Each structure stands twice: as C-alpha cells, then as structure tokens.
Amino acid sequence: MGVTYQSFEYFHKWFNKEKYKSVCELGDQQFMLCFPYTEYSYTRTYFENNNIEYDSIDLNGLGKSLMLDLNIDIEIKKQYDFITDFGTLEHVVDYYMGFKNTDKLCKVGGIMLHILPAVSHWPDHGSWRGDRVFYIKLGKTQNYIIKDVHTEPTKIGGPTSDQIYIVYEKTEEKEFMSKEIFNSFGPIKINEPEIYVKGKVGGGRNLNREKL
C-alpha cells in the first residue's frame, strides 16, 4: 500500500530506535502522502539515515529489496528487531506462509507490525482479510504478546478504506502453528490470488505466467 503519514505515525508509536537496531519491511515500501518525505521515495533512506540496519523483501527487487518469495519457506539466516507490513501480506497467494515467514524473520523480543485492509473494505485490493478475532487467535496460539489489534478509517480514503492495525511481540522461538490450525481461525479470501514474478514489476489476476 505504501507508507502514509497516518501509518508512519502509528509505526513511531511502537518503534524506539534506541532499542530496535534492525528493521525488515515486507514490500519495497515507499512514502505516499507522508510529508515531509518526497513522494514515492523509498523508506530505506529514512532508516539508513538513522543508522538502522535495514532490509526489505519484495519479488520485484526494487529499492534494493531481497528477492524472496513469501509464499514459500524463505531461506534467510538473519533475524530482525522489527518487522513492518504496510499492506503486503494481503497480496500473497499463501496467507499462512506470509505469517509464518514474518515469524521466522523476527527475533525473540522483536515486534511484528501489520497494517492491512479491514474486512469488507478495499474490495478490489489484494486477496486476503482477517477480522479482529482472527488476529487475536493467531497471536495467542504463537504466544505473542498482543500489543494492539484495532480498526480505524484511513485519513486519505473513502468510506470503504478502513484498515486493521496489529502489533505482536515475539516471546519465544516456537514452531509455527500448522496450516490447519491457522485456517481454522477463518482467514477470508475475497479475490483470486494476484500473480507476481521474480524480478518483474507489478502483478495482477488472470495473468498468463507463460508470457511473463
């Protein structure tokens, strides 16, 4: 979705640069309507200017992002103090693997922050939704400290642009729940999955992989 003033303000509610020295963002995140930052400039610059170790993950490889596929068990040896998801996981094919990989990327004591479309909002955006109960069950099952789960309207959107804000703290290295348990919490698939191809920009539904 991109990082707006509203989402960046929320991020700073939880981020303490004296405590958290490394950040991994899901998606090649850019600023959008986030004064004073240049429109569509990469958030990487902000973190590097503040001496914070930074990586982003995106199949397109833009913004120096790591070209890893969140739909499969990613191979990465690093873990980070803070993981951000400013509207990425709703686009993955496999919602379960998206959250499993987020857990894998996070250090014990680290924070996982998600800002995602709320149920019945952003109807043509992405493929997945979860309600408040879904994210609470997910957090409790993984023994996360659930610091926040709430829904609010976006300040720049219309009547169907609410987002859900989720913040977890990881308390232990624990095997991630099974897909069967995850699915029992009721993730909501609203659209057919979008297709993204490694090293290519953009994606969408009903794309022919043979032509990409």
For residue 204, list its beta bridge partners: 195
Integer Cα distance of 35 and 3 in angstroms: 11
Closest CA to 163 of 116, 95, 204, 97: 116
CB 96 within 8 A of CB 179: yes
Q: Which conformational region is residue 206 in: left (phi greater than 0), alpha (psi within -120 to 50 degrees), or beta?
A: left
Exposure of 117 in the CB half-sphere (CA atoms within 13 A): 26
For residue 150, list its beta bridge partners: 165
Give the tens place of pLDDT for each residue, 47-104. 999 999 999 999 999 999 999 999 999 999 999 999 999 999 999 999 999 999 999 9
Residue 47 has a pLDDT of 97
CB 174 within 8 A of CB 142: yes
The residue type at 8? F
> CATH number of the domain at 5-211, please?
3.40.50.150
Residue 204 has a pLDDT of 61
List the single range of 9-13, 15-19, 203-207 with lowest mean pLDDT.
Answer: 203-207
Q: Would you place residue 209 in the very low, low, confident or very high pLDDT band (cuts 50, 70, 90)?
A: very low
Integer Cα distance of 100 and 49 in angstroms: 30
Residue 201 has a pLDDT of 75
